[in-house]
A = this chain, B = another copy of it.
Amino acid sequence: MAAAELPCVLVVEDEPAQREVLAYNLEAEGYRVLRAENGEEGLLLVNESAPDIIVLDWMLPNVSGIEVCRRLKTRAETRGIPIIMLSARSEEVDRVRGLETGADDYVVKPYSIVELMARVRAQLRRVRPSSVGETLQFSDIRLDAESHRVFRGDATLKLGPTEFRLLATFMEKPGRVWSREQLLDRVWGRDIYVDTRTVDVHIGRLRKALCPNGETDPLRTVRGAGYALG
């Protein structure tokens, strides 16, 4: 199974017109597009073609989008594929449910096609670290490289340059454990001599900055190894 050169997007949308608009724009953007008109077909295509990202309509006949999402996110091999949910509903409840099910992003119809494209790009960048990042996301934390800003939920977080780079490193590969030395390399620079304990201090500062209101600490200490996000 050779890796496709072009990023591959699976569009699951029952309404033919909307599906084609999406597909057209995605193809114009340079993606390979797979189309599915219902949940079953979607699930099948995921197994067959391992797309890099999925744009998923909320309302689908039989197997609903949310159900498709749930199934994909509970299976280990498909859990990593980012899912962007589309929905006509704008109620808060559904947003929460959408993200709760494991969707990585959520867009309410009618959406700006440009915005959707941006989100697709963002999600892809998260998964395929080939190109440099604009927006990274992990759970409720968003990091925008361009504007140098970090959000948690709706709140804007305030963090210093070092903490920002530190967080950016973590968010490139959520879950991965970085040793203090690796972090010094990536965040401080290759030939800077700083005490490894300095990392600890900045981790502490990052933690404090990430949880201004007592949110759960997303950083994990791995004793004897280093730190990780999530």
Contact = CB atoms under 8 A, between A and B. Distances in A.
Contacts of A1: 118, 122
Closest 10 A/B residue pairs (Cβ): A161-B224, A147-B175, A148-B177, A40-B96, A148-B222, A146-B176, A40-B92, A148-B225, A161-B223, A44-B95
Interface stretch (A5-13, A16-24, A98-106): A98-106
A35 interface: no
A189 interface: no
B175 A146 contact: yes
Interface in A127-178: 142, 144, 146-149, 160-161, 173, 175-177
Interface in A81-105: 92, 95-96, 99, 104-105
A147 B161 contact: no
29 contacts: A1-B122, A40-B92, A40-B95, A40-B96, A43-B99, A44-B99, A44-B106, A47-B99, A47-B105, A47-B106, A71-B99, A75-B104, A76-B142, A77-B104, A77-B126, A146-B173, A146-B175, A146-B176, A146-B177, A147-B175, A147-B176, A147-B228, A148-B177, A148-B225, A149-B175, A160-B223, A161-B223, A161-B224, A161-B225
A187 interface: no
Contacts of A77: 104, 126
A182 to B, nearest CB: 12
Contacts of A104: 75, 77
Nearest to A75: B104
A139 to B, nearest CB: 14
Contacts of A161: 223-225
A34 interface: no
A184 B173 CA distance: 32
A154 B126 CA distance: 25
Contacts of A105: 47
Interface in A186-210: none
Contacts of A144: 175
A63 interface: yes
Given A40-B96, A63-B96, A104-B77, A148 B228 contact: yes
Contacts of A175: 144, 146-147, 149
